[in-house]
Amino acid sequence: MTELKRRVEPAVRLAEAGLPGRILGRLVEVGFLDRTVILAGQAFSAILPLFMIVSTVSPHPGGDSPATTMARRLGLDPSDVSSLQSAVAPPSSARASIGALGVILALLTATSFARALQRSYELAWRLPPAGGLRAAWRALALVIGVALYIELLFLFGRMVRGVPASTLLEDLATFTGAWVLWTGAGWILLAGRVRPRLIATGGLLTALGFATLRQLSALYLPNLVTTNQQQFGLLGVALTLFTWLTACSFVIVVATVVGTVLAEDPGRLGRFIRTSRR
């Protein structure tokens, strides 16, 4: 056994020194599986307040909303969309009672996800926590940015509805917006300690990951929702939502770590990412 270990040790060191080895090592270092579950749990507690904020601040007539539009793009059928709408969009009679205080409380609840995401970014970049009251606004800024992103995508989708190649336009807007959103999220949550150019690599990978996940969701999510709802009722829908959010969190964590390692790479790719062009 000792002889075998001695023989494979150079190969192990070579693998760790290469790009795949550094990525795997950083994933293990940040505890990517634990971070994925933590992020998914916080996202699960934040998603309903987030959609309530969007639906309350900017109500939409005709029963349409950003939540239902997103559900349709994931391939869910009308009955699933109707259930989701009743869950995340408060009725018009309740909007007046929610008021400004309710929106503020919902925003504070949704910041739990932003704080968990902030810690994931800091671990990936090997930075200490940016604590203190001066950094508290950053989590709130991210929640507002995500809500604005959802609302703008919804409005863009309504604007191009009926236009030739509207689906392609929506996909391009979703991808571009996601790249900007996750690059900006990293810069805000890291308190400007990392240049946006470096964070943009992870933002691009996150946007690509979400684009792939959305295509896979359209294939598998409708059947999963139907099966779980028939077996477990509302609990099954919640389980499906948590599973999907876990996949989203996995994309965020892995894409962030890979983007960080690529930005630090001593080779040509890393130099390209780090070097500014004027």
The DSSP-derived string for 92-111 is HHHHHHHHHHHHHHHHHHHH
Residue type, 229: Q
At 14 the pLDDT is 46
The tokens of 153 are what?
């995508």
- Cβ–Cβ under 8 Å, residues 46 and 115: no
Quick one: the chain helix, strand, coil %, rounded to 5? 85, 0, 15
- Looking at residue 120, what is its pLDDT? 95
Compute the Cα dihedral for 81, 83, 89, 95 and give only its sign.
Answer: positive
Task: State residue 268's pLDDT score.
Answer: 87
d(CA 254, CA 202): 9
How many Cβ atoms are within 10 Å of 129's Cβ, its own excluded? 12
Mean pLDDT in runs of 10 for the chain (278 residues)?
51 61 93 94 80 62 60 60 52 53 71 91 92 76 86 84 84 93 95 92 96 87 80 79 91 96 90 74
What pLDDT, on the 0 to 100 scale, is given for residue 261? 95
Give the number of C-alpha atoms closer than 13 A to the C-alpha of residue 46, restricted to the C-beta side. 25
DSSP-derived letter for residue 131 is: -
Q: Looking at residue 246, what is its pLDDT?
A: 94
Q: Exposed, middle or buried by CB within 10 Å (0-12, 13-18, 19+), for 62?
A: exposed
pLDDT value for 248: 93
Task: Please report the sign of the dihedral spanned by the C-alpha atoms of residue 152, residue 204, residue 243, residue 223.
Answer: positive
Q: Tell me how many degrees the CA angle 96-98-102 measures, rounded to the nearest 5.
A: 150
* Token pair for 135: 């950094």
What is the model's pTM? 0.83
Which sequence spans correspond to the domains of the chain? 31-87+95-122+137-274
What's the confidence (pLDDT) of residue 249?
A: 95
pLDDT of residue 278: 46
d(CA 260, CA 194): 10
DSSP 161: T
Contact 244, 214 (CB under 8 A): no
CA gap 275, 113 in Å, rounded: 32
Sign (positive or negative) of CA dihedral 196, 201, 202, 206: positive
